[in-house]
Amino acid sequence: MKIVVVGANHAGTACINTMLDNYKGNEVVVFDSNSNISFLGCGMALWIGGQIAGSDGLFYSSKEKLEAKGAKIHMETGVTNIDFDKKIVYATGKDGKKYEENYDKLVLSTGSLPIDLPIVGKELENVQYVKLFQNAQEVIDKLNVNKSIEKVAVVGAGYIGVELAEAFKRWGKEVYLVDAADGCLSTYYDKLFREKMDAQLEGHGIKLEYGQLVKEIQGNGKVEKIITNKGEFPADMVVLCAGFRPNTDLGKDKLELFRNGAYVVDRTQKTSIDDVYAIGDCATVYDNSIGGTNYIALATNAVRSGIVAAHNVCGTKLESIGVQGSNGISIFGLNMVSTGLTFEKAEKLGIEVLETTFHDLQKPEFMEHNNEEVYIRIVYRKDNRKIIGAQMASKYDISMAMHVFSLAIQEGVTIDRFKLLDILFLPHFNKPYNYITMAALGAK
């Protein structure tokens, strides 16, 4: 069987490895328009901010590693067209060489692209997008060479924008964080938690310019200032990171699309056409928190979707168990994690929900060393009391606690089951009446 994979980053790499490791005898041909494979974009801000030593550790695979297992990898070779009826993929290499590959099974792993904001002046020098390895390298090179870059404006206060704001501040730059919303991280956290992150950012000198739409970037050849619907401020570099859209141009006229343009897939990752699968950021997911199809672009989701598709492509029926959109962020030592729906998002979706919120010290008061406050909110349905979301914040590393809530959403656990949950106690770790138990006991 001949399998063609278009795109070889996280989802594609997981799919290719799973096929080659578990199923022998197939011909696997891969096309990728980039020059590298498996760049961990989630570590990009750490690299830009100088919190890790170089970028080498941000790659976990390569053309050589995949070819050593038997795949045929074409790098810097963009797919220009796909004939879904005749099952032929057409591609062109950087050197102009043309390729025509027939397939028995096709896997689309084309990822996502930065949203192209309609802003006048975005073609000016030092206006940057930051998604690929090359984008991050260009930013670092400019900061190293051009010492006149003193003011940096980050447009978009989602995860990447907030992380980049910290990164540029670590360079000693004057940083503006701009967003049309009234706070940061609105997709993942309720106001109580967003305010904590905003306070953390402001406390480290980052200027928050919320509730503003960027209208224009001005400058004589290169960036000098930003104009919004509420005013203006100076900038020597502008980073546009207002989110991403699914990269589905290749199949948009043939495959069923979700409301945001992503390929609609079933729980085997199959698209609306037999023998064509889609994985990663270009495809939908099954979201257990809403009990339906959704779009959640995360590297973790991408890897899982690649594994699921690989088995189905190679003849083993395997369905996704769904996702919750579990995620986390750490900014200047403030850690925030969440899964499922926020209270605000659930209400917007018309789901009747209740929430229970609690805060306390992580450990007993007599544990004076490394004992931080923890804030927790659990969101649950009013009708059946099933948990559909949770959020936590602390300067203590509470990230592992979120996994139990991810599992709870996946398995349909009610808030009441948490009230007497057997949770270990040791003063080194937590309190006997810990914040998870107390939050559950406080549920209406």
**Alpha-carbon gap, residue 271 to 268, rounded angstroms:** 9
Q: Where are the beta strands (DSSP E) in 103-255?
A: 105-108, 112-114, 127-129, 151-155, 174-179, 207-210, 214-218, 225-228, 232-234, 237-240, 244-246
Q: With CA atoms as reference, report the closest residue to 122 among 143, 153, 151.
A: 153
What's the rounded Cα separation, in Å, for the pair 59 and 55? 8
Residue 388: strand, helix, or coil: strand
Marked catalytic residue, from 15, 42, 241, 314: 42
Which listed residue (10, 15, 282, 311) is catalytic?
Answer: 10
42: annotated active-site residue: yes
Cβ atoms of residues 129 and 298 within 8 Å: no
Report the phi/psi class of residue 430: left, alpha or beta, with left for phi > 0 and alpha for psi in -120 to 50.
Answer: beta
Structure tokens at 82: 């796909």
3-state secondary structure of 29: strand
d(C-alpha 377, C-alpha 390), whole Å: 6
Contact by Cβ (8 Å): 31, 77 = yes
How far apart CA 144 and CA 141 sit, in angstroms, is 5
Sequence-distant (6+) residues with CB within 8 A of 323 are: 285, 286, 287, 288, 296, 298, 301, 304
Return d(Cα 170, Cα 161) in angstroms, integer.
Answer: 14
Catalytic residues: 10, 42
